[in-house]
Amino acid sequence: MADIHLDPDVLSALREVMEDEYPDLLETFLRDSEERLSDLRKAKDASRFMNAAHSFKGSSSNMGAVRLAKLCHELEQCAKERKMADIEKLLEKIDSEFAIIRPLYEAERQRSLSG
Amino acid sequence: MQSLEPLTILIAEDCAADRMLLSHIVRRQGHEVLTAAHGADAVDTFRQQRPHLVLMDAMMPVMDGFEAARQIKLLAGETLVPIIFLTSLSESEALARCLEAGGDDFLAKPYNPVILAAKIKAMDRLRRLQATVLQQRDLIARHHEYLLNEQRVAKAVFDKVAHSGCLSAPNIRYLQSPYALFNGDLLLAAFNPAGDMHVLLGDFTGHGLPAAVGAMPLAEVFYGMTAKGYGLPETLREMNAKLKRILPVDMFCCATLLCLSFQRRSVEVWNGGMPDGYLHAIATGERKPLTSRHLPLGVLSPQTFDDRTEVFPMAVGDRVFLLSDGVIDTCDGDEQLFGVERLRQVFVANRQPDTLLEEIEQALRDFGGDARDDVSMVEVSLLEAAQLSPPALVYSDSGQSCPLDWSASFEFRAATLKRFNPLPYLLQLLLEVHGLRAQSGALYSVLSELYSNALEHGVLGLDSSLKRDASGFARYYLQRNERLDALQDGYVRVHLQVTPEGKGGCLTVRVEDSGKGFDVARALERPLDGVRLSGRGVSLVRQLGRNASWSDEGRSARVEFFWEALA
């Protein structure tokens, strides 16, 4: 389960709840996430990291991005414990995780638009 | 899961995707959705649109959820606007912060629509409950306001009736809550035409307005009949009959009625259902209990009502103390009653008779009782007759129809003497003569003296020397009642003659009885000292009327009243 990126159960629940707006939700999430990532890159102090990571964790978990949510949680913990060295490493992991899930969500969006 | 009524729900969430998702879930559950992207936005939206419920993200830019929650709770005031925090916070410290800021519940991310619906429903229930509580509180407050207003009006009307009396006379001291009326307590005092003082302390059953309504008719009977010169028995009979007629079965009035005669130095007492009153003889220090011997007013039918009174001698300075059951029924913290024994201890400890009421009040406070407003106490002392000035009667007629030349004779026979008091009628008739009005007090005193002499010594053959001491006094009135009950024949005749003389006039009163007569010469030998208990009648008549004389071996008394031209 460690290498699962998106939780299919969450996605199908979202599809059901959002109905026609499901593609919009996915798009919104991706746009939002880019903002969060740039917030994270700009963050200088531990509490900024903490807040940004916390918010990102919340929305990722809602969207079923389980691995991203887990990484955000780790980042939030590191920021809390001021482990600045680990933060650097986690930021890179978050970047690459987002790079993986982004096309997955886009594909999902295309599927739902055509379906 | 459907709510009864759609709610307007504010969603404050900075993350657009979360906001969108949540809005969708909530809308699908049938509610109206407002959204805000940060705390300040949420507060603004709340102020403008007053949503019923708020879903609030904790971490937001500009103003976080904690501060926004505090401000919204402040704006909501007494209305419950439930705030559910949206959070992936897990530490108990952070959750506690949400509660401190006024949060009512949490919803963890990722959102579960089923749980969210259940929470909204639960919060809506709470919200409605609070609204109902507030509504009912306001209703109660409004009713309370109505009630107080009704009491104010009733009290204002009643005070007008009750204050027509003489509670401010120098020989009366009393303690009573201004709203005692609404606990059924009632205190009335008035002078009769002879200058005797009637005092009533009553206690209606019940509380509030129902306890107060009976007070009006009772006060009217009391003042009306006292002013016209009726004695206690007739007044009591009328009060009882009236209350019996108008009050529901479970309502009645415990009462003690007094007639303090300053001229005869005596007090007549009727106690129906009140706690013992006390007759305090200052010279001996003795406190004689004035015990209830009757059922309260308004219980018995007029046929079975017992109007029998007791009469006790008093000396100048002696006091009669009456109290309502609120005094002895005052409870301490352990539901213990203050009781008669503690009251008696206050009596024993009392050094200054004038501070007795305050000392009892203090004792009640020390006892730990709350200040009850059904604690009523009154103390009436016997003064020299001259120390009191009964108010002059006010007449409303013009005097044009004043009768100036007439005579009338009455004969009252046994069956009438038993129950009927003719004096008020005779007095009213005589006061049609304007010239006599200025001396109505003396006229009434003399008439009642002559009438009771004729009845008691003449018709009933009672020995006035019995009244020489206190125990004889009581025996005298006992015999009076017994003989009156047994009376078969006999009469009292009253002849009145009014003749004009110059610009004034003269009234001649003659009272005859069927009795054995008395030794006029010996009675007239007595000095006009007016202090002794017995034989006071003769000297009173001689002091207040003119040319008093007795004939037919004392069976016929004659006295005159003169008046000059009216101004």
Q: Is the pLDDT of residue B110 over 90?
A: no
Residue B85's beta-bridge partner residues?
A: B56, B106
The domain B163-387 is classified under which CATH number: 3.60.40.10, 3.40.50.450, 3.50.50.60, 3.30.930.10? 3.60.40.10
Pull the structure tokens for residue B314. Answer: 């008093």
Stretch 25-84 of chain B: residues touching chain A, C-beta under 8 Å: 25, 28, 57, 59
Per-residue confidence (pLDDT) for residue B442, from 0 to 100:
87
Q: B33 near B9, Cβ under 8 Å?
A: yes
Q: Which domain holds residue A80?
A: 8-114
Residues of chain B with CATH 3.60.40.10: 163-387
Residues A77-91 have a mean pLDDT of 86
Taking the CA atoms of B297, B301, B302 and B307 in sequence, report the sign of the dihedral they define.
Answer: negative
A2-42 pLDDT per residue, tens:
468 999 999 999 998 888 999 999 999 999 999 889 888 88
Q: Is the residue at A1 inside a domain?
A: no
* % of chain B exceeding 90 in pLDDT: 46
- Nearest-neighbour CA in chain B from A8: distance (Å): 14
pLDDT band at A1 (very low <50, low <70, confident <90, very high): very low
Which tokens is B220 given?
């009217």
Could you tell me the sign of the dihedral formed by the alpha carbons of B241, B242, B245, B249, in that order? negative
Burial label for A17, CB within 10 Å (0-12, 13-18, 19+), is: middle
Q: Considering only the beta carbons, identify the residue of B14, B15, B28 that sits closest to A17.
A: B28
In terms of DSSP bridges, do strands B556-563 and B546-551 run parallel, antiparallel, or are they unpaired?
A: antiparallel
Between A111 and B531, residue with greater pLDDT: A111
Average pLDDT over residues B312-319: 92
Confidence of residue B533 (pLDDT cuts 50, 70, 90): very low
- Among B172-176, B270-274, B492-496, the least confident range: B172-176
**HSE-CB for B113 with a 13 A CA cutoff:** 18
* 3-class secondary structure, B562: strand
Structure confidence at residue B368 (pLDDT) = 75
Q: Can you tell me the mean pLDDT for B366-385?
A: 82
- Confidence (pTM): 0.66
Domain with CATH 3.30.565.10 in chain B: 406-563
Average pLDDT, chain B: 87
Domain-located, residue A67: yes
* Chain B residues within 8 A of A17 when measuring between CB atoms: 21, 24-25, 28, 113
C-alpha pair distances (Å), B127 with each of B25, B30, B51, B54, B471: 21, 18, 12, 12, 76
Residue B534 has pLDDT above 50, yes or no: no
pLDDT category of residue B531 using cuts at 50, 70 and 90: very low
Can you give the pLDDT at residue B399?
64
Question: In A1-115, which residue ranges form alpha helices assigned H by DSSP?
Answer: 8-18, 22-42, 46-62, 66-80, 84-114
Report the pLDDT averaged over residues B503-520. Answer: 89
Q: pLDDT, tens digit, for every residue of B45-88?
A: 999 999 999 999 988 888 889 999 999 999 999 999 999 998 87
pLDDT surpasses 90 at B239: yes
Superfamily of domain B406-563: Histidine kinase-like ATPase, C-terminal domain (3.30.565.10)
Beta bridge partners of B377: B175, B323
Instruction: Give the pLDDT confidence score for residue A45 in this predicted structure.
Output: 82
Q: Is the pLDDT reported for residue B3 higher than 60?
A: no
What token pair was written down for B48?
Answer: 């403008």
Cβ–Cβ pairs < 8 A, chains A and B? 56
Q: Check whether the bond before B82 is cis (ω within 30° of 0).
A: no
**B109–A32 CB contact, under 8 Å:** no
Residue B529 has pLDDT above 60, yes or no: no
Q: Which of B18, B26, B29, B86 is the best substitution to test chain A (most A C-beta atoms within 10 A)?
A: B18
pLDDT value, residue B528: 55
Q: What is the ipTM of this complex?
A: 0.90
| CATH dotted code for B8-134 | 3.40.50.2300
B162 vs A113, which has greater pLDDT? Answer: A113
Average pLDDT for residues B102-117, to the nearest whole number? 87
- For position A3, what pLDDT does the model report? 63
pLDDT of residue B439: 86
For the record, the structure tokens of B416 come out as 């009438």
In chain B, CATH 3.40.50.2300 covers 8-134
**Residue A2 domain-assigned?**
no
Whole-angstrom Cα distance, residue B348 to residue B338?
16
Count structural domains, chain A: 1
We report the CATH number of the domain holding residue A98 as: 1.20.120.160
